[in-house]
Amino acid sequence: MPHQGNPQPSYLALAQTGELARRAEALRALASPCRLCPRKCGVDRAAGELGFCRGGILASVSSCNAHHGEEPPISGHRGSGTVFFAHCTMRCKFCQNFPISQLGHGAEVTDAELAERFLMLQRMKCHNLNLVTPSHYLHAIAAALVLAVQKGFRLPIVYNCSGFESVEALRLADGIVDIYMPDMKYADPKKAALYSDAPGYVDANIPALQEMQRQVGELVCDEDGVARRGLLVRHLVLPGAEEDSIQVLRILHDQVSPTLYLSLMSQYFPAHKAHETPPLDRRIDPDAYHRVVDCMETLGLNGWVQPMIG
């Protein structure tokens, strides 16, 4: 993959001109009435109303730590500074983080407190700030970033999301986010509806990834192989969904970028409510997974292939 030195994150230039603060205000306006995600619930979060995601106007944080288990260019050798946000815009029956995403395990923090968490991760010498499930709190993240920059925050920002994103909100993140790390979960809207209660996922996901690609382009790393900018797409292969996975890879190649970097994952296990919806109640078939891997190789997509577990 391309290499470059250690350029300053582009949000610093936005901060210097006051544009970062303006973006934070524009995102806050999208939060009440809420249009931050494709569901466009329209609830008044500032007045305490809760929409589908159940997130309030303040960000709710579950944990902040150096994470060493992400893809190599994200974790590097010092770890990725992850902030796990509570609640989610989706309801995946198989979610491995369901206590955080669906049960809402976390605590609300002010923008200033969130900024201090960003700075803490920088003091821990993490390679980046990795925002996990950030979509419904993008307004609070931008406001916290304004405060953090004033105190010397300089880490590249990773936007680690489900891929169920609003292009309107993403455009306001242009220049704030350095590395997008979205999922492309489905090519089949029926599976998105049944498995994740997100019938509009595919229609939202493809334009969102195209917008991310437009903003940051191909994944670029520094001399140590640590990502500085670009798009890295994740896809988790589900049991009984081999053909859908192959279609996902074709969409990524044909409609997003033939040179994008993909993380293909085999780590599925029947978590949360997966047992209620066969074939989610079992692990993936190794032969089926290897056919998806073969498709990735045939298409010439770059990236990482997780080996079969167990």
CA distance 292 to 283: 15
> Is residue 249 domain-resident?
no
Q: Are 283 and 272 in contact (CB under 8 A)?
A: no
Q: How many structural domains compose the chain?
A: 1
pLDDT at 77: 96
> Is residue 165 domain-resident?
yes
pLDDT at 79: 98
CA distance 202 to 174: 22
- Residue identified by tokens 């995601």 is 53
> Is residue 21 domain-resident?
yes
Given a cut of 50, the residues of the chain with pLDDT beneath it are none
CATH number of the structural domain spanning residue 72:
3.20.20
> Is residue 254 domain-resident?
no
Q: Are 98 and 172 in contact (CB under 8 A)?
A: no
> Is residue 206 domain-resident?
yes
Q: Are 192 and 186 in contact (CB under 8 A)?
A: yes
> Is residue 256 domain-resident?
no
Q: Are 135 and 162 in contact (CB under 8 A)?
A: yes
For the stretch 77-90, pLDDT in tens is: 999 999 999 999 99
> Is residue 301 domain-resident?
no
> Is residue 297 domain-resident?
no
pLDDT at 118: 98
pLDDT at 8: 87
Domain that holds residue 189: 11-234
Strand pairing partners for 242? none
Strand pairing partners for 66? 81
Please report, as a single letter, which amino acid is at residue 202. V
